[in-house]
């Protein structure tokens, strides 16, 4: 291959001319501008989907350990439904199939749809982890909580969950990193995120190697940042003498 | 004198090491040629499954290679089919994996720096497909509407340029492939689908109700599509060009065009239904390898 040409990021997206400052002005954008905005979309999709995933996933995980069979069934059904359908298929179901069944969904922007699709998909995996975390605690802990006169919700809130969440921080970290990488499916429903930027910009400029290297770097940096944040949280919340505090 | 000889020998040695520049010799020595083909580039180049590749450009290339075989007086010439994508086609031609690329590559000035193109065999027109009952007939009516196109195609840049030049504002929606973009139009998420004419025609032909769609409006851009070969290999390029020019002269190419773009084609026996445009006929009558930049935009 010919030599690398990193100037490609300073090119204007319309005329393909190199802009001296590397950033466009007056409504025109360069590939660098475009890539940063694409990065923003990737992070927005990932962060919002993670919020959806953690809140619904925790709820479903808790339901699956509840003493009531009906609640367990709801949690199990949710997990199996979203865990057993491929992510890309789920995104298409949200984007193409559901709006044709419920016409009001047509007004919903694809960004919202993909946040829910990705969030629900990941919530099933988080539900499984939260369930595993709660079940890894000795049964005696919940009995002890109930024997102290706490109600069931109070037992969860003050006895079980504080331990369970600390235990599942490592798998949750993996999930949070996965959600950044999985957000690349959003390109399939017309979100201009990093993967889509890469495909389009390499076609526009024929400098695929530079574009893909830069995009790879941004994905890596984002996932690694999540990893570091999670590690920080893990270290801050650990309780000496318990699981996970061996470091 | 000695020095210059040494330099000459060195430069010959290095070029010989870096490039297998002489494709004809390579074909003669190995008794095989590798054709780059596409999985799904409309009627130009597509697969029937089982490693079989057909299409207008594939058939032209098969005839070109038959002529090459004659020229080299080979008893037998194996044709290997190597599927390529728009991301890897140029590197594969450059590094010698593919000897002749028969897909749907637009001949443009940037690519001419890396590869060479045979004379243009097909001129693509970028058009607009809409629902027949939408009442849309020109691009101006698309202002504020949702316009679909496919990620990773030149049409995206074209729309962007058009938006700025004419001060119109489209809401672009991007399909991940042509089938997906057409679904956007079909399901009403997009009001128009802007893409190469033959791809639009092919998708409409395959739709549930082809009468519901039509191709309207002005031609947004004209792009010469050509067969791609390695750069700096004039002997092979001449062999390919001569073979194609002979087909153009004899009218053979018009028959091939008719076979793939007008008649029913496999696998589903649908018709693309796109008779040769004036621009394509002009390219046949005046063989040339002009890049897209030299085609006057309408």
Q: How many domains does chain B have?
A: 2
Same domain, B193 and B203: yes
Q: Is A98 on the interface with B (CB under 8 A)?
A: no
Same domain, B130 and B212: yes
- For residue A127, the distance in angstroms to the closest alpha carbon of chain B comes to 31
Same domain, B111 and B146: no
Interface size, chain A vs chain B, as Cβ–Cβ contacts under 8 Å = 50
**Amino acid B270: pLDDT:** 83
CATH of segment(s) A32-237: 1.10.3720.10
Asked if residue B162 is part of any domain, the answer here is yes
Pairing of strands B100-106, B32-37: parallel
Write the CATH number for B206. 3.40.190.10
* pLDDT tens digits, A196-215: 999 889 888 878 889 999 99
Same domain, B119 and B77: yes
Of chain B, the end-to-end C-alpha distance in Å amounts to 57
Query: Between chains, do B187 and A100 touch, taking CB under 8 Å as contact?
Result: yes
* pLDDT tens digits, B169-210: 888 899 888 888 999 999 888 999 999 888 898 888 888 888
The model's confidence at residue B284, banded by pLDDT at 50, 70 and 90, is very high
| Cβ pair B129, B200 in contact under 8 A | yes
Cis previous bond, B267, omega within 30 = yes
B154 contacts in chain A (CB < 8 Å): 203-204
Query: Between chains, do B151 and A196 touch, taking CB under 8 Å as contact?
Result: yes
Alpha-helix runs per DSSP H in chain A: 31-63, 69-83, 87-92, 98-101, 110-135, 139-147, 152-155, 161-167, 169-182, 194-205, 208-237
Closest chain B residue to A98 measured between Cα atoms?
A: B187
Asked if residue B173 is part of any domain, the answer here is yes
Same domain, B132 and B185: yes
**Amino acid A125: pLDDT:** 96
Pairing of strands B192-196, B122-131: antiparallel
| Cβ pair B175, B181 in contact under 8 A | yes
Q: Which of A2, A29, A190 would best serve as a mutation to test chain B binding (most B beta carbons within 10 A)?
A: A190
Please give the average per-residue pLDDT across B208-227, as a whole number: 90
* pLDDT tens digits, B108-127: 888 898 899 999 999 999 99
The SS3 of residue B260 is helix
Distance separating alpha carbons of residues A42 and B34, to the nearest angstrom: 40
Please give the average per-residue pLDDT across B67-89, as a whole number: 91
Instruction: Tell whether ipTM is more than 0.95.
Output: no
Same domain, B112 and B204: no
Same domain, B97 and B149: no
Distance separating alpha carbons of residues A211 and B220, to the nearest angstrom: 28
* pLDDT tens digits, A152-194: 999 999 999 999 999 999 999 999 999 999 999 998 888 999 9
B94 contacts in chain A (CB < 8 Å): 1
Pairing of strands B192-196, B171-175: unpaired
Asked if the model's pLDDT at residue B16 lies above 50, the reply is no
Same domain, B148 and B84: no
Q: What are phi and psi of A199, to 5 degrees?
A: -65, -40
The model's confidence at residue A247, banded by pLDDT at 50, 70 and 90, is very low
Same domain, B135 and B263: no
Which residue matches tokens 């495909």? A199
Same domain, B160 and B251: no
Asked if residue B218 is part of any domain, the answer here is yes
* pLDDT tens digits, A19-68: 888 887 777 789 999 999 999 999 999 999 999 999 999 999 999 999 99
Residue range(s) defining the domain that contains residue B38: 21-123+224-294
Q: Quick count: other Cβ atoms within 10 Å of Cβ A209?
A: 14
Pairing of strands B122-131, B213-230: antiparallel
Helix H or strand E encompassing B210: none
Which of B160, B190, B223 is the last residue before a domain boundary?
A: B223
Query: Between chains, do B164 and A14 touch, taking CB under 8 Å as contact?
Result: yes
- For residue A97, the distance in angstroms to the closest alpha carbon of chain B comes to 10
- For residue A214, the distance in angstroms to the closest alpha carbon of chain B comes to 16
Asked if residue B16 is part of any domain, the answer here is no
Query: Between chains, do A1 and B91 touch, taking CB under 8 Å as contact?
Result: yes
Which of B204, B223, B242 is the last residue before a domain boundary?
A: B223
Query: Between chains, do B114 and A13 touch, taking CB under 8 Å as contact?
Result: no
- For residue A78, the distance in angstroms to the closest alpha carbon of chain B comes to 29
Closest CA to B205 of B6, B15, B67, B42: B42
The model's confidence at residue B4, banded by pLDDT at 50, 70 and 90, is low
Please give the average per-residue pLDDT across B44-72, as a whole number: 93
Distance separating alpha carbons of residues B137 and B166, to the nearest angstrom: 17
Same domain, B197 and B259: no
Q: Quick count: other Cβ atoms within 10 Å of Cβ B45?
A: 30
Which of B196, B223, B250 is the last residue before a domain boundary?
A: B223
**Amino acid A2: pLDDT:** 56
A1 contacts in chain B (CB < 8 Å): 91, 94
**B160 closest CB neighbour out of A13, A96, A203:** A13
- For residue B156, the distance in angstroms to the closest alpha carbon of chain A comes to 8
Mean pLDDT score of chain B, rounded to an integer?
A: 87
* pLDDT tens digits, A109-130: 889 999 999 999 999 999 999 9
For chain A, domain boundaries: 32-237
Asked if residue B8 is part of any domain, the answer here is no
Note the pTM of the prediction, 2 decimals: 0.80
Distance separating alpha carbons of residues B264 and B280, to the nearest angstrom: 20
Same domain, B27 and B168: no
């Amino acid at each position: 291959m010919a030599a690398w040409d990193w100037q490609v990021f300073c090119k204007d997206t319309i005329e393909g001319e190199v802009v001296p400052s590397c950033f466009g002005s007056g409504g025109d954008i360069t590939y660098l501008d475009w890539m940063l905005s694409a990065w923003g979309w990737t992070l927005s999709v990932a962060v919002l989907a993670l919020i959806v995933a953690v809140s619904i996933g925790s709820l479903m995980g808790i339901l699956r350990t509840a003493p009531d069979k009906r609640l367990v069934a709801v949690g199990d059904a949710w997990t199996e439904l979203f865990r057993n359908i491929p992510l890309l298929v789920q995104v298409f179901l949200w984007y193409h199939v559901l709006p044709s069944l419920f016409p009001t969904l047509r007004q919903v922007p694809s960004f919202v749809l993909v946040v829910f699709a990705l969030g629900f998909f990941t919530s099933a995996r988080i539900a499984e982890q939260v369930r595993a975390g709660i079940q890894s605690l000795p049964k005696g802990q919940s009995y002890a909580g109930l024997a102290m006169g706490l109600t069931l919700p109070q037992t969860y809130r003050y006895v079980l969950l504080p331990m369970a969440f600390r235990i599942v921080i490592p798998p949750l970290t993996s999930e949070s990193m996965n959600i950044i990488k999985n957000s690349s499916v959003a390109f399939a429903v017309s979100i201009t995120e990093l993967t889509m930027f890469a495909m389009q910009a390499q076609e526009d400029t024929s400098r695929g190697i530079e574009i893909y290297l830069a995009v790879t770097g941004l994905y890596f940096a984002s996932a690694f940042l999540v990893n570091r944040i999670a590690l920080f949280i893990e270290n801050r919340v650990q309780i000496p003498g318990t699981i996970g505090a061996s470091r | 004198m000695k020095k210059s000889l040494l330099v000459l020998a060195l430069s010959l040695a290095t070029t010989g090491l870096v490039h297998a520049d002489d494709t004809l010799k390579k074909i003669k020595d190995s008794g095989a040629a590798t054709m780059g083909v596409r999985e799904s580039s409309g009627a130009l180049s597509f697969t029937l499954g089982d490693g079989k590749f057909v299409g207008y450009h594939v058939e032209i290339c098969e005839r070109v290679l038959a002529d090459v075989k004659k020229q080299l007086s080979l008893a037998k010439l194996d044709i290997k089919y190597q599927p390529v994508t728009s991301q890897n086609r140029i590197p594969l031609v450059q590094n010698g994996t593919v000897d002749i690329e028969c897909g749907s590559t637009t001949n443009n000035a940037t690519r001419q720096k890396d590869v060479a193109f045979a004379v243009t065999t097909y001129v693509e027109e970028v058009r607009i497909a809409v629902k027949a009952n939408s009442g849309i007939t020109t691009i101006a009516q698309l202002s504020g509407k949702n316009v679909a196109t496919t990620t990773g195609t030149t049409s995206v840049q074209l729309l962007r340029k058009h938006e700025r030049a004419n001060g119109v504002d489209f809401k672009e929606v991007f399909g991940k492939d042509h089938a997906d973009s057409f679904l956007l139009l079909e399901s009403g998420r997009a009001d128009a689908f802007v893409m190469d004419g033959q791809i639009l025609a092919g998708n409409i032909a395959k739709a549930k109700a082809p009468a519901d769609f039509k191709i309207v409006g002005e031609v947004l851009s004209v792009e010469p599509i050509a067969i791609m070969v390695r750069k700096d290999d004039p002997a092979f390029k001449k062999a390919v060009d001569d073979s194609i020019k002979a087909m153009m002269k004899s009218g053979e190419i018009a028959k091939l065009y008719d076979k793939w773009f007008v008649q029913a084609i496999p696998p589903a026996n649908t018709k693309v239904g796109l008779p040769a445009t004036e621009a394509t006929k002009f390219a046949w009558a005046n063989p040339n390898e002009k890049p897209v930049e030299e085609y006057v935009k309408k």
